[in-house]
Amino acid sequence: MSESVIQVDNLSLTFQTNDGPVHALSEIDLDIQQGDFVSLIGPSGCGKTTLLRVIADLEKATGGSILVNGVSPAAARLARGYGYVFQAAGLYPWRTIAKNVSLPLEIMGLDRTTRKERVARNLALVNLEGFEKKYPWQLSGGMQQRASIARALAVEPDLLLMDEPFGALDEIVRDHLNEQLLALWGKTNKTVVFVTHSIPEAVYLSTHIVVMSPRPGRIQDIVVSNLPRERTLDIRETPEFLTIANRVREGLRAGHSYDDVES
């Protein structure tokens, strides 16, 4: 019924360092369907960000196979097959908010009217109308991160890769942005791969939660959520939510992730 967006088969990645090889990823098998919201959760050093970067072709796997939109990650990147949101907003300070959102569109070579229309539409999606002419440093951290999401959405990809996008924000802003992200996902039926180290955030947002453990980075458990697609923040008080959160916590514990991780 739905098709695979990302197929990962026995993937591994080993970094060669001066202290010998580091196994960042090992024996990763993952299948992500169109419309899924998949969270990668785990302690620092478990390879969740590395896995996301492999999907985005920012790192190259050293073993196994991976297909994004049915082609190699490199081909998917060159076809602008995904939007990527980084931990920091990474907006260019010399461009206004509107110009920042329009940056990928300029690189894609779209004409002026299309760019204008897409910038307006995507800024409206993240509730940033009226801030087009502001510079990034005149906006709060939460607004900057929303602008960077609008910039990723402006490419109009079916796949959105997000690397702890709300990690640097305070909890109130974070809750608010989580709600907005969920609404956005509900409206557009995009596929989202979301890296986080917060259990409530992962459970609240996701249809699938991939629990990872370090040394070597591998998948410990994949928890399928039975929560409805439309959720409010209140859902975090329900028994179903707590059951899923517990299973995720057990998965993290089973990976011995708390014993040997320093931070």
Partner 1 sequence: MLESSVAPKALERTLYIGAACLGVLGLGSLLLQFFGASLLISTSLLVVVAAVVGNKLASHNSAMAAVWLLATSSLAAAFLIIFLSNYDAETASVPYAFWFLVIASWALAWASVSRFTEINTLSRTVNGVLTVLIPLIFGVWLLLLWEFVTQGHDVPKVLLPAPSDIGDRLVNSVPTLWADFKQTFIKSVLTGYIMGCSAGFLVAILIDRSPFLKAGLLPVGNLVAALPIVGIAPIMVMWFGFDWQSKAAVVVVMTFFPMLVNTVAGLSAASKIQLDLMNTYAANYWQSLFKLRLPEALPFIFNALKINSTLALIGAIVAEFFGTPIVGMGFRISTEVGKMNVDMVWAEIAVAALAGSLFYGFIALLERVATFWHPSMRSTAR
Residues in the site for partner 1, rule: CB under 8 A? 56-58, 77-80, 82-84, 86-88, 90, 92-94, 103-104, 106-108, 135, 137, 155
User: Closest distance between partner 1 and the C-beta of residue 112, in Å?
Assistant: 16
Nearer to partner 1, 163 or 201 (CB): 163
Nearer to partner 1, 77 or 176 (CB): 77
Q: Is 55 left (phi over 0), alpha (psi -120 to 50) or beta?
A: alpha
Nearer to partner 1, 137 or 258 (CB): 137
Rounded Cα–Cα distance for residues 219 and 248 (Å): 12
- How many other β-carbons are positioned within 10 Å of the β-carbon of residue 239? 7
Rounded Cα–Cα distance for residues 54 and 131 (Å): 34
User: Closest distance between partner 1 and the C-beta of residue 125, in Å?
Assistant: 19
Q: Contact 199/246 with Cβ under 8 angstroms?
A: no
User: Closest distance between partner 1 and the C-beta of residue 152, in Å?
Assistant: 8
Rounded Cα–Cα distance for residues 67 and 75 (Å): 10
| Residue 211 CA, distance from chain mean position | 15
Q: Where are the alpha helices (DSSP H) in 109-235?
A: 112-125, 141-154, 171-188, 199-205
Nearer to partner 1, 93 or 228 (CB): 93
CA triple 197-198-200, angle to 5 deg: 150
Nearer to partner 1, 108 or 183 (CB): 108
Nearer to partner 1, 159 or 181 (CB): 159
Round to the nearest angstrom and report the end-to-end CA distance of the chain: 42
Spell out the residues 6+ positions from residue 263 whose beta carbon is closer than 8 angstroms to its own.
44
User: Closest distance between partner 1 and the C-beta of residue 109, in Å?
Assistant: 10
User: Closest distance between partner 1 and the C-beta of residue 40, in Å?
Assistant: 18
- How many other β-carbons are positioned within 10 Å of the β-carbon of residue 194? 28
Q: Contact 221/211 with Cβ under 8 angstroms?
A: yes
User: Closest distance between partner 1 and the C-beta of residue 117, in Å?
Assistant: 19
Nearer to partner 1, 166 or 241 (CB): 166
User: Closest distance between partner 1 and the C-beta of residue 256, in Å?
Assistant: 30
